[in-house]
Amino acid sequence: MPIPIVEASDALRQFAASFAACFTAAGYLHFVTVLLGLIQAPERRTLSGLRRCVVGAGSLSALSRFCTSSAWTAALLAETWQARFHQQLAPWIPAEHARQRAARPRRRGRPTPTRVTAYAIFDDSPIAKHAQGRKAPMAGVGRHYSTSAGGVVTGHSLFAGLLVLLGRRCPLPPRLYRQRAVAEREGVPFRSKVDLAVEAVEQLRPLPGTETHVLVDAWYTCRRLWRAALGRGFRITGGLRANRRLRLPDPERPGQARQVRLSAYVAGLGPGDFVLVPWRGRLVAAHLVRTFVYKLGACQVLVVKEAPDAPPGTARCWASSDLEADVATVARHAATRWEVETFLQEQKELLGLDHYQMTSAEGIERFWYLVACCYLYLDEVRAGLAAGGQTNPTLGDAQRHEQAVHQHRLLTWLRGQFLHGATVDYVQQRLTA
C-alpha cells in the first residue's frame, strides 16, 4: 500500500533535510520520494514503481526530469553525504584510539602506536541491459564480463567505491565505465578502469585520526594505482595474479637475488609454511613473505588456502604495502575487500540499483547516486539497531525496520482519517492519487 509522503519516518525526514541545500523545493520533494520509494518498493524500482509507493509524489514526467535533467549536481550530493559520514564518525575515532590504548599490555619501551584504519575499497560490477523494445538506445552500453553470469553480458559497467570504518559504511561516488569503442562512438573521453581508480584515490578525503588503506582486486593492482595510493600517504593491498614475478634470495648464490614467478613460489610451499588465521568467520591457511614485487616495489605477499595441504592451484594471493603487519593483519586487510562485493549485491537486491530505465548517461549516474544516498541512510539505521542491542543487524534488517515504521505510520494516518469522518472512498482516492 502506498505511503503518504508526509508520513515518512522522522529519521528519514531528518536525513533528507541535511540534503535540502542540494535541491530546489520541487527537487527536494522528488528526492524524498526516491528515498521513500527505494525503501518501500516491493519489486521493481523503476521510477514508475517508486512513484506507485508514495502518495503525493508528483507526476512521473516530473520525477523523470528530476533524475535526468533538473538543476542539481551529483557531485554536490556525494560531497554532502560524505561530509555527513565524516561528521558522524568524528567522535568515534578518538574513542577507538582511547580504547586501544587502554587495552594494550603494559611493557617497557615505547608503546605500540594505536591505529584506526579506514578502508577505501574499489571494484566494478556489470549491469545487464537489453535493448529490445527501446525507443532510444541507452548510453554507455557495452559488453562486459560477468562472474555471476559466467560470461559476457550486454549492459553497463558500474565502477563503485566503499569507505569502511569502525563497522560503518559510506558509498563513494559511482562512475559509469565505457569501453574504448563505446566512448569513441559516443564522443566522450575514454577512461580506463585503472584511470577511474586512480582518480578516486586522488579525490579521496581521509578522515582525521585514521590511516587510509586502499583495497582492490587483481584487475587494479598495477604500478599507477600503487604509486597514487602511496603518494597520498595511504596503504594499499591488492590481489595478485599467478604470473606476477617476485624478487627472492637465491639459495645457490648467497647475497644474490633471483626472479621467481608467483605460481612457482606458491607451488614450492609446504603445509608447514602456513598458519591458521581468521578469514570472514572461519579459519584459513595463510603464508606471508616480505619481498619485492616487480612493478610494485617492496611488499608483503600473502598466500591463502582453505587448508595447509590444499593444492597450490587453489591459492589466492595479495600484495600489501603494510610492511610492518603480521600475517593475521594482512589477512584481515585482504578479507575486508569482500565488503564491496556485499555492498554491490545489497544495492542490487535491496535497492534496485539495476532497475533503472533511463537512457542518458547523466540520468543513469544520477540514479546510482540516489541509490548510494539511500544506502547510506539504511546503514545509519543499521548502526542504530546495533546500538539498540540487536546482534549483527544487516542492511536488510534495517530496510525491514524502516518498512515496519512506515506501515505503522500509515495505519496511524488511516485511523486519523476515519476518526475525522473520512469515507472509505475518500481515503481510497487519496491513496491512489
**pLDDT-derived band at 113, boundaries 50, 70, 90:** confident
Q: What proportions of the chain, in percent to the nearest 5, are helix, strand and coil?
A: 45, 25, 30
Angle between helices 338-351 and 395-419 (to 10 degrees): 30
**pLDDT-derived band at 304, boundaries 50, 70, 90:** very high
Run of H or E including 328: helix 327-336
The string of DSSP codes covering 58-110 is: --HHHHHHHHHTSS--HHHHHHHHHHHHHHHHTTHHHHHHHHHHHHSPP-SSS
**pLDDT-derived band at 135, boundaries 50, 70, 90:** low
> Is residue 6's pLDDT more than 90?
no
Could you tell me which of 309, 425, 260 has the C-alpha nearest to residue 417? 425
The overall average pLDDT reported for the chain is 89
Q: Which residue has the higher pLDDT, 411 or 230?
A: 230
What is the mean pLDDT of the segment spanning 301-330? 95
How much is the pLDDT for 422? Answer: 79
Q: Give the integer Cα–Cα distance in Å for 339 and 344.
A: 9
The string of DSSP codes covering 183-201 is: HHHHT-----HHHHHHHHH
Could you tell me if residue 208 is left (phi over 0), alpha (psi between -120 and 50 degrees) or otherwise beta?
beta
**pLDDT-derived band at 366, boundaries 50, 70, 90:** very high
- Type of residue found at 29: L
Q: Give the integer Cα–Cα distance in Å for 91 and 93.
A: 6
Could you tell me which of 164, 288, 301, 153 has the C-alpha nearest to residue 221? 301
Residues 12/402, Cβ–Cβ less than 8 Å: yes
- Is the Cα torsion angle 253, 256, 258, 262 positive or negative in sign? positive
pLDDT for 56-112, tens place per residue? 667 888 888 888 888 899 999 999 999 999 999 999 999 999 999 988 888 887 888
**pLDDT-derived band at 1, boundaries 50, 70, 90:** low
Among 105-114, 139-148, 239-248, 259-268, the least confident range: 105-114
Q: Percentage of the chain surpassing pLDDT 70?
A: 95
Run of H or E including 289: strand 282-293
Residue 138 three-state SS:
coil
Which set of grid coordinates corresponds to residue 430? 487519496
Burial class (CB in 10 A: 0-12, 13-18, 19+), 390: middle
How much is the pLDDT for 276? Answer: 96
Q: Give the integer Cα–Cα distance in Å for 204 and 310.
A: 39
- Type of residue found at 371: V
pLDDT for 204-258, tens place per residue? 999 999 999 999 999 999 999 999 999 999 999 999 999 999 998 877 777 777 8
Q: Give the integer Cα–Cα distance in Å for 244 and 39.
A: 44
Q: Give the integer Cα–Cα distance in Å for 115 and 350.
A: 33
**pLDDT-derived band at 132, boundaries 50, 70, 90:** low
What is the mean pLDDT of the segment spanning 193-210? 95
Which set of grid coordinates corresponds to residue 12? 528519514
**pLDDT-derived band at 4, boundaries 50, 70, 90:** low
